A = this chain, B = another copy of it.
Amino acid sequence: MTHASHDLTLADIARHLNVAFEGDGSQPIRGLATLKDAQADQVAFLANRAYLKDLAVTQAAAVLLHPEHGKSCPVPRLEIDNPYLGYATLSQLFDPLPARDIPGIHPSAVVAESATLGEGVSVQANAVIEEGVVLGDDVIIGAGSMVGADSIIGEGTRLHANVTVCHGVVIGKRAILQSGCVIGGDGFGFAHDGGQWHKIAQLGGVVLGDDVEVGSCSSIDRGALGNTVIGNDVKIDSQVQIAHNVTVGDHSALAGCVGIAGSTHVGRHCMLGGGVGLSGHLTICDGVQVTGMSLVTNSIHEPGVYSSGTGAMNNAQWRKNAVRFKQLDEIAKRLSRLEKNHRGQS
């Protein structure tokens, strides 16, 4: 699946990373691969010691690695302090998508007259841009996507196909919205009276910062009164739910299937593992990591790693333990009683 959008040589690669190298600079480079799978026209990388064993036998054209591993490399090497960052940088060169993004409005797209489009904007087939929308330069709106009235999208942002941005949403620069995600659906707000629910119109919006990514089928709800706010460089995986009036600080990352309930504030540089749930109205300070599928019901005021739950075990063994969990308070009391009796005897 990796194919270069144009012809690159090993010398081009080294120049792009601004690293020196020894070897045949004219070697054509067709793509990237792991140390194990790389062929003679692919560049590989060593970013994790667990793969050191693969370095000795790699067939790659060259390997991105830290200088400390340079001597163990059997092929031309590209020495760099953060090889994983080097790999990220190179990966952009081999992405086939940008070459296909021809600026212009597809005839089947529907763009409101009152919308303002920057230069180089691409609105693809059957997309819809409603009244008052502002699209910055080089924005790409994928096929079937919808941008609701009065929303503002910053330059260089890409909506993949079938994305929904509701009305009154503000998105920063260079953001990436994967297919099927929904930004600005109504928050879940109802007043209860006489046994019935009465809808609270969700009058706030959503503000996404610069360099935000939102995964496939994720949803970020609009605020009830103020806005739901996602900071700069926040990365959100697929199937994530962010409720109304949540705020997420800059540089935080949320893995797949995370759910954050209303009005919770997540700090900067936080990392939430897959399936983590945060209750509503909490404050999570900067630098907090929560491991997969944990439930957080109280605010967290100290940076660090937090967890809940228990890992899977054989079902027969699990059944015995799970039953005991329901007796846990009683077990603790029996233990205390026994300790007391024991002390009485001594």
Which residues in A have some Cβ–Cβ distance to B below 8 Å?
A: 1-2, 31-34, 37, 82, 84-85, 87-89, 91-92, 94-97, 100, 106, 108, 110, 124-126, 128, 130-131, 142-144, 146, 148-149, 160-162, 164, 166-168, 176, 178-182, 185-186, 188-193, 195-205, 211, 213, 215-219, 221-223, 225-227, 233, 235, 237-239, 241, 243, 251, 253, 255-257, 259, 261, 269, 274-275, 277, 279, 290-298, 300, 304-329, 331-332, 334-335, 338-339, 341-342, 345-346
Besides A188-B235, A310-B325, 8 other CB < 8 A contacts? A85-B198, A95-B203, A106-B110, A181-B217, A257-B277, A306-B313, A320-B328, A327-B332
B326 A331 Cβ-Cβ under 8 A: no
Residues of B within 8 A of A128 (CB): 124-126, 143-144, 161
B190 A185 Cβ-Cβ under 8 A: no
A143 B160 Cβ-Cβ under 8 A: no
Residues of B within 8 A of A202 (CB): 91
Min C-beta distance of A143 to chain B, whole Å = 4
- If A146-B143, A290-B312 touch, whether A92 touches B331 (CB-CB below 8 Å) is no
Min C-beta distance of A30 to chain B, whole Å = 11
- If A128-B125, A143-B130 touch, whether A94 touches B201 (CB-CB below 8 Å) is yes
- If A95-B201, A253-B197 touch, whether A311 touches B322 (CB-CB below 8 Å) is yes
A274 B274 Cβ-Cβ under 8 A: no
A203 B1 Cβ-Cβ under 8 A: yes
CA distance A134 to B325 in the complex (A): 53
- If A190-B253, A275-B259 touch, whether A326 touches B341 (CB-CB below 8 Å) is no
Min C-beta distance of A101 to chain B, whole Å = 11
B315 A306 Cβ-Cβ under 8 A: yes
Q: Which among A142, A191, A233, A279 has the greatest number of chain B C-beta atoms within 10 A?
A: A191
Residues of B within 8 A of A345 (CB): 345
B334 A339 Cβ-Cβ under 8 A: yes
- If A97-B167, A188-B255, A342-B341 touch, whether A225 touches B292 (CB-CB below 8 Å) is no
Min C-beta distance of A205 to chain B, whole Å = 4
A203 B32 Cβ-Cβ under 8 A: yes
A201 B92 Cβ-Cβ under 8 A: yes
Residues of B within 8 A of A149 (CB): 96, 100
Min C-beta distance of A131 to chain B, whole Å = 7
B190 A88 Cβ-Cβ under 8 A: yes
A238 B334 Cβ-Cβ under 8 A: no
A332 B342 Cβ-Cβ under 8 A: no
B307 A292 Cβ-Cβ under 8 A: no
Residues of B within 8 A of A215 (CB): 185-186, 188, 219, 221
- If A180-B182, A321-B325 touch, whether A146 touches B164 (CB-CB below 8 Å) is no
B259 A203 Cβ-Cβ under 8 A: no
- If A126-B126, A308-B318, A335-B338 touch, whether A198 touches B89 (CB-CB below 8 Å) is yes
Q: List 18 A-B contacts (CB under 8 A).
A: A85-B198, A126-B128, A146-B161, A160-B166, A162-B182, A179-B185, A180-B219, A182-B238, A195-B269, A196-B233, A217-B241, A238-B241, A239-B259, A241-B274, A305-B314, A308-B310, A321-B328, A331-B331
CA distance A331 to B166 in the complex (A): 53
